[in-house]
Chains A and B, each alone.
Chain A
Amino acid sequence: MNNLFTYTGSSSFTEFLGAYAPDLLPSRMQAPAVPVGDQIPHATTIVAATCAGGVVMAGDRRATSGNIISQRDIEKVFRTDDYSCMGIAGTASTGIEMARLYRVELEHYEKTEGRSLSTEGKANRLATMIRGNLAMAMQGLVVVPLFAAYDPAIDGGRIFGYDVGGGPYEQRNYHSIGSGSIFARGSLKKLYREGASPEDTVLACLNALYDAADDDSATGGPDVTRKIWPVMAVITADGFRRLPEEEVSELVQTMLAGRMEDPDGPTAPLR
Chain B
Amino acid sequence: MSMPFGYASPEQIMRDRAEYARKGIARGRSVVVMQYADGILFVAPNPSKALHKISEIYDRIGFAAVGRYNEFESLRLAGIRYADINGYTFNRNDVTGRGLANLYAQQLGMIFTESIKSLEVEIVVAEVGDSQAEDQIYRLTFDGSVFDEQGMAVIGGQAEAVAGRLKERYKDNMPLPEALEAALVALTEPGGERPPATQLEVAVLDRGREHRKFLRLTGPRLERLLKTVKSETKPDKPAEDVSLPEPPTAPDGDIDTGSAE
Given A5-B78, A108-B80, A112-B77, A20 and B85 contact (CB-CB distance below 8 Å): yes
| A4-B81, A5-B107, A112-B80 as given contacts; A24 in contact with B57, CB under 8 Å | no
CB distance from B211 to the nearest CB of A (A): 8
Apart from A5-B107, A7-B81, what are 13 other A-B pairs with CB-CB below 8 Å? A4-B81, A4-B85, A5-B75, A13-B84, A16-B85, A17-B85, A21-B89, A24-B88, A24-B89, A104-B87, A108-B81, A111-B55, A111-B56
Contacting residues, chain A, for B77 (C-beta < 8 A) = 7, 112
Flag if B82 contacts A4 (CB, 8 Å).
Answer: yes
> For the complex, is B52 an interface residue (Cβ under 8 Å from A)?
yes
A172 interface contact, C-beta 8 A: no
Contact of B103 with A by CB under 8 A: yes
Smallest beta-carbon distance A27→chain B, Å: 14
| A-chain residues with CB within 8 Å of residue B87 when the two chains form the complex | 104
Name the A residues within 8 Å of B56 (CB-CB).
Answer: 111
- Give bound CA distance, A100 to B89, whole Å: 10
B167 CB to nearest A CB, Å: 32
Is the pair A107, B52 in contact by a Cβ cutoff of 8 Å?
A: no
Q: Does B74 contact A (CB under 8 A)?
A: yes
Known contacts A21-B89, A114-B52; A4 and B78 CB within 8 A of each other? yes
A104 to B83 Cα, complex, angstroms: 10
Taken together as a complex, chains A and B put the C-alpha atoms of A7 and B75 apart, in Å, by 11
Instruction: Select one of B52, B78, B88, B211 contacting A101, CB under 8 A.
Output: B88
Q: Please name all residues of chain B whose beta carbon is closer than 8 Å to the beta carbon of A79 when the two chains form the complex.
A: 211
Complex CA distance for A107 and B73, rounded to whole angstroms: 17
A268 contacts partner chain B, Cβ-Cβ < 8 Å: no
Residue of A nearest to B245 (CB): A238
Q: Which of A16-36 contact B (CB under 8 A)?
A: 16-17, 20-21, 24
B: contact size bracket: 20 to 34
Q: Interface of chain B, helix or strand or loop or mixed?
A: helix
Whole-angstrom CA separation of A108 from B78 in the bound complex:
11
Q: A1 in the interface, Cβ–Cβ < 8 Å?
A: yes
| Cβ distance A217 to chain B, nearest Cβ, rounded Å | 34
A contacts with B, residue count (CB < 8 A):
19
Interchain Cβ contacts under 8 Å between A and B, 22 examples:
A1-B103, A1-B106, A4-B81, A4-B85, A5-B75, A5-B78, A7-B78, A7-B81, A13-B88, A16-B81, A17-B88, A21-B85, A21-B89, A24-B88, A24-B89, A79-B211, A101-B88, A104-B88, A108-B84, A111-B55, A112-B80, A114-B52
- Residue of chain A at shortest CB distance from B63: A111
- Kindly count the residue-residue contacts between A and B in the assembled complex, taking CB atoms under 8 Å apart: 46
Question: Per-position contact with A for B150-177: 1 when CB-CB < 8 Å, else 0?
Answer: 0000000000000000000000000000
**A185 CB to nearest B CB, Å:** 31
A107 and B88 form a contact (CB under 8 A): no
A21, B85: Cα distance in complex, Å: 9
The 6 closest A-B pairs by CB, nearest first: A5-B78, A4-B78, A111-B80, A4-B81, A108-B84, A104-B88
CB-CB < 8 A to B88: which residues of A?
13, 17, 24, 100-101, 104
A193-232 CB mask vs B (1 if < 8 Å, else 0) is 0000000000000000000000000000000000000000
CA distance in complex: A7, B135 (Å): 31
Type the 1/0 row for A145-177, where 1 means its CB is closer than 8 Å to any CB of B: 000000000000000000000000000000000
Chain A 118-146, CB within 8 Å of chain B: the 1/0 string? 00000000000000000000000000000
Tell me whether B85 and A111 are in contact (CB under 8 A). no
A107 touching B84 in the complex, CB below 8 Å, given contacts A5-B74, A114-B52: yes
CA distance A114 to B216 in the complex (A): 11
Closest to A105 in B: B84
In the assembled complex, the Cα of A104 lies from the Cα of B85 at a distance in Å of 9
Kindly provide the distance from the CB of B39 to the nearest chain A CB, expressed in whole angstroms.
Answer: 18
Which residues on the B side are within 8 Å of A1 (C-beta)? 103, 106
CA distance A79 to B57 in the complex (A): 19
Of A1, A4, A100, most buried by chain B (CB within 10 Å of CB) is A4
CB distance from B259 to the nearest CB of A (A): 32
CB-contacts of B172-215 with A (<8 A): 211-212
A5, A16, A17, A79 — most chain B CB neighbours (10 Å) = A5
When chains A and B are docked, how far (Å) is the Cα of A7 from the Cα of B57?
A: 17
Q: Which residues of A contact B103 (CB under 8 A)?
A: 1, 4
Assembled-state Cα–Cα distance A24/B89 (Å): 7
CA distance A108 to B95 in the complex (A): 14
